[in-house]
Amino acid sequence: MKDTIEMIVRALVDDPDGVDLREVERNGTSIIEIRVAQSDMGKIIGRQGRTIRALRTLANAAGIKQKRRFILEIVE
């Protein structure tokens, strides 16, 4: 799941080398922390949060299929 989210985020931003994803496991839940350059923060969030909401929906759908829970967090 982390690889898929990373591929999508790298395609969205202007500086793909500035993308850093970390996966933390807590209580059976995978938390994926997304770090991007400050100038690309708006592209990940999107208008009124639509882009990050769509990424979270994809993660939830994949999690249901894998019987796991994924949470996406944007870290500054």
> pLDDT-derived band of residue 74, with 50, 70 and 90 as boundaries?
very high
Q: Walk me through the domains of the chain, giving residue ranges and CATH numbers.
A: 2-74 (3.30.300.20)
The whole-model pTM stands at 0.88
- Provide the mean pLDDT of the chain: 93
Give residue-wise pLDDT tens across range 19-37: 999 999 988 899 999 999 9
Give residue-wise pLDDT tens across range 38-54: 999 999 999 999 999 99
State both tokens at 7: 């591929």
Q: Which residues of 19-42 are buried (b: 16+ CB within 10 A; e: fewer)?
A: bebeeeeeeeebebebbbeeebee
